[in-house]
Structure 1
Amino acid sequence: MTPTVETRSASPTVVKALISPGGVEAWHVESDVVPLIAVAFTFEGGAAHDPVDKPGVAQMLGRLLDEGAGNYDSDAFQERLAGRAIELSFNAGNDAIGGSLKTLVKHADEAFELLRLALAEPRFDADAIERVRAQTIAGLRYQQNDPGVMATRRFFEAGFPGHPYSRPTSGTAESVAAITRDDLVAMHRLLIARGRVKIAVVGAIDADRLSVLIDKVFGSLHEAKPLRIIEPASLVATGQRLVADLDVPQSVIRFGTHGITWCDPGFIPAYVLNHILGGGAFTSRLFQEVREKRGLAYSVGTSLVSYRAASMTWGYTATKNERVAECLDVIASEIARLHADGPTDEELQKAKDYLIGSYALGFDTSTKIAHTLVQIAFEGLGIDYIARRNELVAAVTQADIRSASDRIFGTGKMLTVIAGRPTGL
């Protein structure tokens, strides 16, 4: 086994880069606190690689990977998991398909074998496909009357027209109905491959044993072929307000402007800026101005969205139809004020103190640590990122905030989508 690279994280934990004899890399945190093993993994490529006329294939694939594999049909596979209290799940987003595994140490061999079967030998039985298809379509039809879903869908259609990110990751009722077994097999062949998977393992397992198990699971996959390039995209239609008409008493609002990707050197200042604007649950400016001072909404907030080929600053709220215009004016005014004047020195320091102090709370379970590590690996931030992250936050200056603000809010324009029947716009 090759030498490992070690760094101390803010958890504090020791993160090691393990290279198995078969050449599979995994980030490993060995911990004997509880007799559990948590695994997180992410494969490059997701719903952005769906066929143009069939959005929803990648997400349907994710839902079918544990619906029977190898010699086990769906019922038998689930019984094997339940009989050993093994937790296995999969998910698919725009840029990746991944999942997680949690097992007691004494059942590790069987758990990793079931994971191998799910990834390498999914059955895609006809009855499982039709069951998952029916569940997906039922969910999509239910969502047709959900203002939050409708606002989000309209936002991405308008913000990234003609781009893969404009298509719903879960598909439509019509596209899901048209998905065939061949589509699923082709997507599985494209995405589930060694060479572009990131893996993190946390728990009571030593490097030598883990190396063997990692090889059995991920070393058994076929070699990856190049994915098609997803062209970079920028949020368009900024400055527009669009309405998705729904007969509901309260409108749901989605708004967004430009962003900064996670791997960009300017991300950490943008992250601190976002916390001040709308990322802080009860302390952010938008929370104070929209909810506390005016009672316009129960909840309001913003976050940074970072995709492989796009980024944006994304916000949400909901308010009575007759107060939509006022709510939007307050949000726009607060963003403009923050951009023009910046935060106070005290405001900036409080934001940094909170983001530094709360960071370790994300490492209170093995599963959380594993998912955080695999996301860091996926973004290419380096195995020492956890150790460096708080220092990066602490180093943010007012000049850094101004630079991030210019990049995000410089145009002064947002794309806004309202699902409901707002008045007074």
Structure 2
Amino acid sequence: MIRILAAGLFAIFTTSAQAAVEVQDITTPDGFKAWLVEEHSIPFTALEIRFRGGSSLDRENKRGEINLMMALIEEGSGDLDAQSFAKARDALAASYSFDAGMDSVSISAKFLTENRDVAVALLRQAILEPRFDPDAIERVKGQVYSVIRSAQTDPSEIASAMFYSNAFGTHPYGTSADGTLDSVEALTRDDMFTAYTNAMVKDRVYIGAVGDITAEALSTLIDDLLGDLPQSGPDMPASIAPALHGGVTVVPYETPQSVVLFGHAGIARDAEDYIPAYIANEIFGGAAESRLMEEVREKRGLTYGIGAYLASFDYANMVAGQFSSANGAVAEAVQVVKDEWDKIARDGITAEELDIAKTYLTGAYALRFDGNAPIAKIMVGMQMVGLSPDYITKRNDMVNAVTLDEINRVARALYDPESLTFVVVGQPEGLNAE
């Protein structure tokens, strides 16, 4: 369903070019907002379109409908069935991908300047005239069934399902966006049209474009592409605090290694303290030289890898992590994670750790800007969390401005040993559920 053309054709931005990225904030005649980076050295454009809402807008007893709907978008549109649509796209050397996330659905397009008008017309047909043919629905349902069945026997997926169910219960974040075998089987063609009109609406769209296109041409393109979509959609889900208040859940499963997820409530991406929290997490569990890697892997050899991350959803936030360990070693590994969680909350971070993290984060930032499509995605992500275009040039200064006192104040607030919650899937020896 998702096809990517040769990466070499589309990767035209390099690390050295990142400093020269100039973002234009444009408003089209129809009122759409978009960010544009013009780059005319190669006749190619990457377009990223994202609609807030995503699979969290699945209706009651319809779990998986938006995921299935997005997978069907390029399975035929207008007068083209799935095979004819694919041939038309390939003949243009264009690429379209349609994806459903928990908080958004996205459309990513790549096309050559010489084929722009025809490629965009085909994309417009896909967006505005989906067919949702019965045979395509059954075929793609079969693919979803395979994903669901695979997840039912994958220890990592089982752990994730239990962890998020414990955290969010019946909220959309508490269940898989893929749905269940029963919920997907029950979805109808009418459900696909309803999911489509709920997910793709004008007042929740964010747009980024990078490449061989002017602001005027992009404005015309966007209005023509999206102007006939519905204006608004259903209510968003409510915000929710993860119900992770400490303890260990063990899910027995026959496997030589146990999978462990851990975490508790975190920090919002638009919070004032997000950057110091991000740096703290990098030091604690975000890099190969992090404290968790040092203590759990390097010193004790209890795992091949362990990491922690800030999970910032639109309506919930967590600081979480994951590792796998032999059944005979997992109890010790869990205890080390607990000890390190307590240590960073109690003692904070050292000046040396902060300096090393700043050097790494500021140096690595430019590596994200390695192609038209990644830059377009970054710009849309920035828009969705309320950042301004100049964040790209200011971000490293913001990292460098974080002081030791500031990051330790944030670390004390972020890491809560009493709330640290574990889900373990496997046959852990010497580890009891709490």
Q: TM-score range by the shorter chain?
A: over 0.9
Aligned-residue offset at 1:388: 1.9
Asked whether the 8 Å contact 1:10–1:387 carries over to 2, the reply is no
Partner of 1:257: 264
Distance (whole Å) between structure 2 residues aligned to residue 285 and residue 361 of structure 1: 24
Query: Structure 1: which 4+ aligned runs deviate by more than 3 Å?
Result: none
* Structure 1: gaps (5+ residues): 1-8
Asked whether the 8 Å contact 1:50–1:58 carries over to 2, the reply is yes
122-131 or 33-42: bigger deviation = 33-42
Partner of 1:269: 276
- Give a deviation string over 1:68-98, Cα, whole Å, max 9, x none: 1111111111111111221110111111111
The one of 133, 143, 154 aligned to 2:151: 143
- Give a deviation string over 1:42-69, Cα, whole Å, max 9, x none: 1011111112222111111111111111
Aligned-residue offset at 1:222: 2.2
Partner of 1:207: 215
Say yes or no: does 1:39 pair with 2:36. no
Asked whether the 8 Å contact 1:258–1:407 carries over to 2, the reply is no
Distance (whole Å) between structure 2 residues aligned to residue 80 and residue 222 of structure 1: 27
Distance (whole Å) between structure 2 residues aligned to residue 245 and residue 177 of structure 1: 28
Distance (whole Å) between structure 2 residues aligned to residue 333 and residue 149 of structure 1: 26
The one of 21, 25, 31 aligned to 1:17: 25
Partner of 1:86: 94
Please give the secondary structure, in 2, of the residue aligned with 1:14. Answer: coil
Aligned-residue offset at 1:10: 5.3
Partner of 1:3: none
Letter paired with 1:374: V
Partner of 1:6: none
Please give the secondary structure, in 1, of the residue aligned with 2:203. Answer: coil
Partner of 2:368: 362
Letter paired with 2:117: D
Distance (whole Å) between structure 2 residues aligned to residue 11 and residue 178 of structure 1: 51
Distance (whole Å) between structure 2 residues aligned to residue 187 and residue 213 of structure 1: 25
**1:27-176 maps to which residues of 2 (within 5 A)?**
27-176=35-184
- Give a deviation string over 1:180-210, Cα, whole Å, max 9, x none: 1111111111111112100000001112222
Letter paired with 2:428: P
Asked whether the 8 Å contact 1:259–1:407 carries over to 2, the reply is no
Partner of 1:416: 422
- Give a deviation string over 1:322-357, Cα, whole Å, max 9, x none: 111100111111121111111110110110111111
Asked whether the 8 Å contact 2:244–2:419 carries over to 1, the reply is no
Partner of 2:379: 373
TM-score, structure 2 normalization: 0.93
Partner of 2:307: 301
The one of 325, 328, 350 aligned to 1:322: 328
149-158 or 385-394: bigger deviation = 385-394
Task: Count the aligned residue pairs.
Answer: 415
Please give the secondary structure, in 2, of the residue aligned with 1:304. Answer: strand
Aligned-residue offset at 1:177: 0.8
Distance (whole Å) between structure 1 residues aligned to residue 300 and residue 346 of structure 2: 23
Letter paired with 1:81: R
Aligned-residue offset at 1:411: 4.9
Distance (whole Å) between structure 2 residues aligned to residue 22 and residue 161 of structure 1: 40
Please give the secondary structure, in 2, of the residue aligned with 1:108. Answer: helix
397-406 or 146-155: bigger deviation = 397-406
Partner of 1:239: 246
Asked whether the 8 Å contact 2:345–2:417 carries over to 1, the reply is no
Distance (whole Å) between structure 1 residues aligned to residue 304 and residue 262 of structure 2: 17
Letter paired with 2:150: Y
Letter paired with 1:385: Y
Distance (whole Å) between structure 2 residues aligned to residue 12 and residue 407 of structure 1: 37
Aligned-residue offset at 1:236: 1.2
Taking a change above 3 Å as real, the CA distance of residues 360 and 378 of structure 1, as seen in their structure-2 partners, is: same
Please give the secondary structure, in 1, of the residue aligned with 2:76. Answer: coil
Partner of 2:13: none
Aligned-residue offset at 1:256: 1.0
Distance (whole Å) between structure 1 residues aligned to residue 149 and residue 30 of structure 2: 46
Please give the secondary structure, in 1, of the residue aligned with 2:277. Answer: helix
Distance (whole Å) between structure 2 residues aligned to residue 404 and residue 211 of structure 1: 42
Asked whether the 8 Å contact 2:55–2:67 carries over to 1, the reply is yes
* Structure 2: gaps (5+ residues): 1-16
Please give the secondary structure, in 1, of the residue aligned with 2:308. Answer: strand
Letter paired with 1:122: P
Distance (whole Å) between structure 1 residues aligned to residue 338 and residue 393 of structure 2: 36
Asked whether the 8 Å contact 1:257–1:414 carries over to 2, the reply is yes
TM-score, structure 1 normalization: 0.95
Please give the secondary structure, in 1, of the residue aligned with 2:196. Answer: helix
Please give the secondary structure, in 1, of the residue aligned with 2:418. Answer: coil
Partner of 2:343: 337
RMSD of Structure 2 on Structure 1 (CA): 1.4
The one of 290, 305, 308 aligned to 1:284: 290
411-420 or 120-129: bigger deviation = 411-420
Partner of 1:387: 393
Asked whether the 8 Å contact 1:19–1:26 carries over to 2, the reply is yes
- Give a deviation string over 1:19-45, Cα, whole Å, max 9, x none: 122222210000023221101111011
Please give the secondary structure, in 2, of the residue aligned with 1:237. Answer: coil
